[in-house]
Chain A
Amino acid sequence: DTEVTQTPKHLVMGMTNKKSLKCEQHMGHRAMYWYKQKAKKPPELMFVYSYEKLSINESVPSRFSPECPNSSLLNLHLHALQPEDSALYLCASSQDGGAHNQPQHFGDGTRLSIL
């Protein structure tokens, strides 16, 4: 079992819906990440939070909006998504909020389908 918990595990939504993905870790890690992963492809970095502040946005469309309410929680708010946004969304955390050179701990992911 992973120490990074993501909910929901599966999500089906229409293009006009608003939904949120949630991620939680209690390892005291100070860096948290959102990745998008298509089948048989490597994870693509979307956002990085370091010490609860957004430090990296990899040119992600504004229909994805991250939020870090506290050091243990990371949300990804979704609005007006497109069918090509269907993918596995992974949350990860790592110990060091600054250097990002520590191993990452991944959640099971949320499998998102856009109708």
Chain B
Amino acid sequence: AQSVSQHNHHVILSEAASLELGCNYSYGGTVNLFWYVQYPGQHLQLLLKYFSGDPLVKGIKGFEAEFIKSKFSFNLRKPSVQWSDTAEYFCAVGGSYIPTFGRGTSLIVHP
């Protein structure tokens, strides 16, 4: 079985601060990893994904994530957040079964 753990449930930052959201997964096979974002009142949308190759993946809106196999981690980063990054962020792991979502991190960015 696969599982995902997001340790930061609520994060509050000021604009221009750096962001790192943690995601750890448990899965025995070849893993595909995703970060989704849900802006207030909007649909879930894909930020970035990792299937194979370069473990540092870049997504939309300046986000990036690093796959560290030895740590079973796929942390999301952004060097300088903006007020518009206020949203729910979900890490998900997929493999041979349906993608499993983490419980999410609520990010609030103060202007």
Binding site for B on A (CB under 8 A): 2, 4, 33, 40-43, 45, 48, 56, 90, 92, 99-109
New contact pairs (20) apart from A42-B104, A100-B94, A108-B42, CB-CB < 8 Å: A2-B43, A2-B45, A40-B88, A40-B104, A42-B90, A42-B102, A43-B44, A43-B101, A90-B44, A92-B44, A100-B97, A100-B99, A101-B32, A101-B51, A101-B94, A101-B96, A101-B99, A102-B32, A104-B46, A105-B46
A-B pair count, CB < 8 Å, reads: 52
Nearest B-chain residue to A31, judged by Cβ: B98
Of B43, B88, B90, B106, which contacts A108 at CB under 8 A? B43
Contacts of A103 in B (CB 8 A): 34, 46, 49
Interface size on B, residues (CB 8 A): 23
Q: Is residue B22 within 8 Å, beta carbon to beta carbon, of the partner chain?
A: no
Q: Which chain B residues have a beta carbon within 8 Å of chain A's beta carbons?
A: 32, 34, 36, 42-46, 49, 51, 88, 90, 94-99, 101-104, 106
